[in-house]
Structure 1
Amino acid sequence: MRPDSLDYRAILLSGVALMDTRAPVEFTKGAFPTSVNLPLMSDEERHKVGTCYKRHGQEAAITLGHRLVSGEIKAERVQAWVDFATANPEGYLYCFRGGLRSRTTQQWLKEAGIDYPLIKGGYKALRGFLIDTLEQAAQQCHFVRLGGLTGCGKTELLHQLDHAVDLEGHANHRGSSFGRHASPQPTQINFENALALEILRKRDAGFDTLVVEDENRAIGSCATPLPLHLRFKAAPLVWLEEPIEQRIERILKDYVIDLSAEFIQQQGETDGFETFAQRLRNSLGNIVKRLGSERHQRLAALMDQALEAQRHGGETGLHRDWINALLNEYYDPMYAYQSERNAQPVLFKGNRSEVKAFLQSLTPASR
């Protein structure tokens, strides 16, 4: 039998599957990218056991737990664990603190003929390790910010760099008023866990200089941990320049063509398109105070015309009109104002190939 482990670094770097035996409500709040929720108790069962513990103590709570999870219910859960352990022989199981639930699961698996190791300290210890990883990165790593005007393709460039960290990717959000995807954002805990895990892997590969996109702390509903965000904002800035024609085409693809396809895949042709159209209108409405009433009405009319053409004929070209106006009249002036106000020095400025070459020169090759 493989031994129980507290080597959190090795477990997380290995990418092995993890069996999370906590209740679904606990799992939903936060887990790890390779975790699968196979709970010992349902939410209702956990609630009943917890109430019993507060009123009558541990022994009575354990007795109630065994009564609630017995017979066919127990057999079904044990079989799910057996199937997981068989499919993932190198994995581990855990509960919240590596205590009673983990040991019970481990014991019932053993009775079914399978020895399976647990993570000592459980979820709490793994989570604490990842929080420490973020704090250590803020103290020890060097960072470079990649900036550029809206639509210049910063994320696209980050994906071409081995030493880049995609904050928007982990947040499942493009970072602007129009940045939401059809699928929901992760919880704050899951965002932090995924971010910490990527940084852990980058550093293990030998990278201590990491490139991140120049972002606000809030990326939709997710927020970069404050120590890291402060380090990012103090990092040198590299500026990506891109012609406005290419920026318009990229925004058209990302925010119109691809986003409408996401909704249609989820909800079907008619409902998906209507949800997409409303999302665009709402996104424009979110910045009405900054646009001003007259400009918002004008851009909203252009957007509605484009949506009608797209709805009835699949033509997306008219979207270029409101995208062009939004860039020239709102996003670009806002970036210019912020840059002048913050007076941030630029370490390097260039086109896509020049910036990529410069960023690649900042760090040694992966060992």
Structure 2
Amino acid sequence: MIDIVRTAQKTSTRSNRDTHSEPAECTAEFLVLEPAGYPMASILDEYPEIEDPGVFEHYAREQWKGYTAHKGEYLFDRRMYPDFAYKVTDVEPPASVIGKNTHIIVRDAVISSVPAVEFRSDVTFDDVVGQQSARKKCKLIERFLESPEKFGKWAPRNVLFFGPSGTGKTMLAKALANKAHVPILPVKATELIGEFVGEGARQIHQLYERAQEMAPCIIFIDELDAIALDRRHQELRGDVAEIVNALLTEMDGIVERPGVCTIGATNRTDTIDPAVRSRFEEEIEFTLPDEAERFAILDSNASTFPVPTKDVDLHAIARMTEGLSGRDLVGKVLKTALHNVIIEDRDAVTQDDLQAAVKKLKNLPAPSTADRMYI
């Protein structure tokens, strides 16, 4: 990231000492600018398109009139595209003041949007263990994405994935995109919350505009409750009404975006604003894995260990881990056991390693023997 430092400054009356040491500032005859972008770039940022250079020139003179322009430094937009920077590539005379007659030129005057980044997924349905009911309901979304023109007003535009963390909501969305051969825009809701009023709404609208360019596609909003918080609880995190309204506008289809399917994911349906929840035509529940599914998750992932396993009973580990999600099994049981083996410079993962990882996760006292460990 390149630090962009605002250098535009208002002309001030110089002291007698300055007047004697430097020539008085004069009005710039012409100013050449080059688009530089935002201080903190994002794939969702929209670059301004200058359709009429004359209109832009008038607008720029009104905005920056009285500022001193220095070659190599930056001028910032404060009106139409807040914080968008233009680099001064030339000014004549040097270090002169922008006035009502300054001719302002922007190189590459037509600035297209940031190139669409297509997030193609390599996750397949085979990677998702269990969740048979959810997978069955996702057939509808798959058919829609394959032929959106056939659905018309009956399209599944908004679908809610809900259930405990780590149960495969993100994986299933990626597998769905892969199966339908469409891009997916995965976004954490917290990334859409701006620092200034209106910024969050702008981010949401730009997200949907980007999706429209890439349609058919999926917008996957994880941690939906972060931006769609029930308005009864908003005092806990500030006023987010403008964010909720922007999301409702897009979900209602006021601006028609054919071929775009929004999938929201949350583990806290009770905190979602009723107005937002009512916009989802379908709610798909994700559940914690049962014993057979826990074994399948453990077996498929343990087989990829960089070191072998020795005398391991994964069925026993599956019985011990009731209530754990797939993410817990992989990240906190298998990975913990594997890392412990590597740290201790041993050559195989054993049953004791797995049981120790489960004990640590569930914070149980150390058993006297392995066969007396009850979970």
Q: TM-score range by the shorter chain?
A: 0.3 to 0.5
With a CA cutoff of 8 Å and minimum separation of 6, indicate the structure with the bigger relative contact order: 1
What TM-score, normalized to structure 2?
0.31
What TM-score, normalized to structure 1?
0.32
Q: Select the structure of larger CA radius of gyration.
A: 2
Higher strand share: 2
